[in-house]
Amino acid sequence: MMMTKLNRREFLKTSSAAAIFAATPGLAFSQVIGGSGPFTDYRALVCVFLFGGNDSFNMLVPRSDAEYAVYAASRQNLAIPQGDLLPINPVTGDGAQYGLHPSMTALQDVFESGAAAFVTNVGPLIEPTNKDQFFNKSVTLPPQLFSHNDMRNQWSSLKGSTTSKTGWAGRMADLIRTGVSGQKMATNASLFGSNLFQSADATVAYVMGPDGPIQFEGFSTDPGSLFYEQRQAFQRIVNAGYASIYERGFAEIQNRAIEAADTVSNAIASAPPLATLFPQSQLGTQLATVARLIAVRDELQMQRQVFFVAASGFDTHDKQIDDQPDLLGGVSDAMSAFFLATAELGISDSVTSFTQSDFGRTLTSNGDGTDHAWGGNQIVLGGAVRGRDLYGSYPLLQIDGDEDVRGGRMIPSTSADQYAATLAKWFGIADADLDVVAPNLRNFVQRDLGFMV
């Protein structure tokens, strides 16, 4: 086999600084002083992003007769039959009864056990908004409502009407960086590529594949391998003396990326086998890897972690009735398995998973699907969740009703900033720093939605 020779000039010309920089844990932890921490315990947040816009008013559905009748009239041919809904029994309530999509039996069990909750009709808001204010333009609204990219960015950054290059998980990592400087892996880790949610000013997310760290192609630590010499040659190049500060910095990034992949890969390899079975799906594979990383948290000296995982396919403009059972069933099965894995590891009280999505979808049908909307329902799951309950205000699902701004697009009654701040507070962010994480929080009276212990 031909072995490619590497030299310093080719290395500096052909390596991708951006890709390696994004995959380098711990970089710049000590550049600026953070405001929250230090910590004596372990906590992890797992963001499950549902790309495309989840039709969550078919995920959590009113099943009491009066409310269901309004729902069925609005949803037309997309309504789930009342008798098919999986009943849930919230501890508190608004007088209505609710049920889950019939594909979500696993989540029904976790909800009834007290480890899952729903935050209802939540979405990006800059300030509290009602229908009259919306149409009179007497309130500040997030720009480009109902656009995939813009609404994803709002959920990720909570930027409101300003420009932001950082996400709320990235800002959390910046705030705690001095308190977790001993960690062997970055606070933020993504199993679904680089993302705005984890972008930060002073810290860097560690980006890996769905099965774990992505190793450098053509390298090996085995002296008997053909690629061992290739790796040794590469490391001689990155460890060489460079005159330029930029060359030295770039080489250091490459070295850290190699070391990080080795450290995390070796730790995962030592993780104990789990009895919990994960679904063989895009989301199931990612969450199984997160569970293995959490299992080796002590070896990696981790105190705080935020994971980003995702599933796609939720842009259901057509064939929604055909596609939604697999989509929602996949979320239910994967998130429930993940909770069971954390319970098996004895760490469920310290790990919270939660959903985000581009937006909710219209109540009205476009034939056999739905269009882009605004507010929707989100899942929060974990041992520290005040579960078996609904938080926020579930809307009357009525076309042209008090919360509909055209075609069954619900104005959120709870803001994404309130949702994020509640999770951030549990994560260990000081109350004084919550406005850094969620910049529009100051516009809302309720800073903590109460769904976390």
Q: For 53-64, write each residue's pLDDT tens digit.
A: 999 999 999 999
**4 beta partners:** none
Instruction: Output the pLDDT for position 251.
Output: 60
* Selected residue with higher pLDDT from 364 and 219: 364
Phi, psi of 423 (to 5 degrees): -70, -40
pLDDT of residue 115: 98
Question: What average pLDDT does this structure show over 194-208?
Answer: 97
Query: Over 50: is that where the pLDDT of 391 sits?
Result: yes
Using alpha carbons, list the distances in angstroms from residue 397 to 73, 237, 299, 353, 372.
9, 63, 49, 27, 16
Q: pLDDT confidence of 171, banded at 50, 70, 90?
A: very high
380 and 118 Cβ atoms separated by less than 8 Å: yes
Q: Taking 50 as the threshold, does the pLDDT of residue 238 lie above it?
A: yes
Mean pLDDT to the nearest integer, 136-159: 98
Residue 4 Rama label (left phi>0; alpha psi -120 to 50; beta): beta
Please give the pLDDT value at position 13.
Answer: 39
Cβ(77)–Cβ(370) below 8 Å: no
Position 254 scores a pLDDT of 61
- 190/27: higher pLDDT: 190
Provide, rounded to the nearest whole percent, the portion of the chain with pLDDT above 90: 80
pLDDT confidence of 305, banded at 50, 70, 90? very high
Contact (Cβ atoms closer than 8 angstroms) between residue 417 and residue 23: no
Torsions phi, psi for 209 (to 5 deg): -85, 175
* CA–CA gap between residue 365 and residue 75 (Å, rounded): 6
> Which pLDDT value is given to residue 37?
81
Q: Over the stretch 20-29, which tens digit does the pLDDT of each residue have?
A: 333 443 333 3
Residue type for 188, please?
N
- The pLDDT of residue 270 is 94
- Does residue 2 have a pLDDT over 60? no
| pLDDT confidence of residue 245 | 81
Over its C-alpha atoms, the chain yields an Rg (Å, rounded) of 23
Summarize the confidence of residues 387-407 as an average pLDDT: 98
The total of other beta-carbon atoms located within 10 Å of residue 267's CB is 22
Q: Return the beta strands (E) in 74-222 as ranges.
A: 86-88, 98-100, 116-123, 188-190, 206-207
One-letter identity of residue 447: R
Mean pLDDT of 431-451: 98
DSSP string, 94-130: SS--EEE-TT-HHHHHHHHHTSEEEEEEEE--SS---
Across all residues in the chain, what is the average pLDDT? Answer: 90
Which band of pLDDT confidence, cut at 50, 70 and 90, is reported for residue 256?
Answer: low
pLDDT given for residue 93 in this prediction: 83
Amino acid at 276: T
* pTM of the predicted protein model: 0.89
Distance CA 72, CA 375 (A): 19
pLDDT on residue 224: 74
For residue 9, what is the DSSP state? H
**pLDDT at 172 > cutoff 50:** yes
**What pLDDT shows up at residue 230?**
64
Put residue 407 in one of left, alpha, beta given phi > 0 → left and psi -120 to 50 → alpha.
left
Residue 18 pLDDT = 35
Tell me the pLDDT band of 231, cut-offs 50, 70 and 90.
Answer: low
Residue 402, SS3 per DSSP: coil
pLDDT for 402:
97
Q: Give the start-to-end residue ranges of the domains of the chain.
A: 8-443
Mean pLDDT value across residues 79-108: 97
Residue range 30-36: mean pLDDT, rounded? 50
Residue 218 confidence (pLDDT): 58
Q: What is the pLDDT of residue 217?
A: 58
Amino acid symbol at 301: Q
SS3 282: helix
Let me know: does 56 contact 80? Beta carbons within 8 Å.
no
Q: What is the pLDDT of residue 221?
A: 66
Q: Tokens for 326, please give them.
A: 């697999």
Band of pLDDT at residue 5, cut at 50, 70 and 90: very low
Please report the pLDDT score of residue 23 as a whole number: 40
pLDDT digits (tens, 9 = 90+) for 399-433: 999 999 999 999 999 999 999 999 999 999 999 99
- Return the pLDDT at 22: 38
